[in-house]
Amino acid sequence: MTLERDVGQKLNTPDIWLSVLIAGAIFIFFGTISARLSRMFPGETIFQYSKTITGKFFGLLLSMAIIIFYTFISGYEVRILSELVHTYLLLRTPKEVVIIIFICVGTYLVVGGINLIARTFQLYLPVILIILLSILFMGMIEFELENLMPVLGKGILPVIESAKATSLSFIGFGVIAVITAFMKNPGKAVNAVVAGIAIPIVVYVISAIIIVGVLTIDEVKTLTWPLASFVNAIEYPGGFVENFQVFFLIVWILAIYTTFVGTHYIASIGLSQVFNKDFGIFVYALNPLIYIIALFPGNIMETFSMGSRLGYIGLAIEGLVPVVLLIIARIRKKGWYKRKEGGTG
Q: Calculate the average pLDDT of the chain.
A: 86
**Is the pLDDT assigned to residue 345 strictly greater than 70?**
no
CATH number for position 74: 1.20.1740.10
pLDDT digits (tens, 9 = 90+) for 188-203: 889 999 999 999 999 9
Count of the separate structural domains present in the chain: 1
Maximal CA-CA distance, the chain: 72
**Model confidence band, residue 66 (pLDDT cutoffs 50, 70, 90):** very high
**Is the pLDDT assigned to residue 67 strictly greater than 70?**
yes
Instruction: Give mean pLDDT, residues 100-111.
Output: 94
Domain that holds residue 237: 3-341
pLDDT digits (tens, 9 = 90+) for 188-244: 889 999 999 999 999 999 998 998 888 888 888 888 888 888 887 776 655 545 566
Confidence (pTM): 0.88
Short-list 157, 200, 263, 225, CA closest to 6: 225
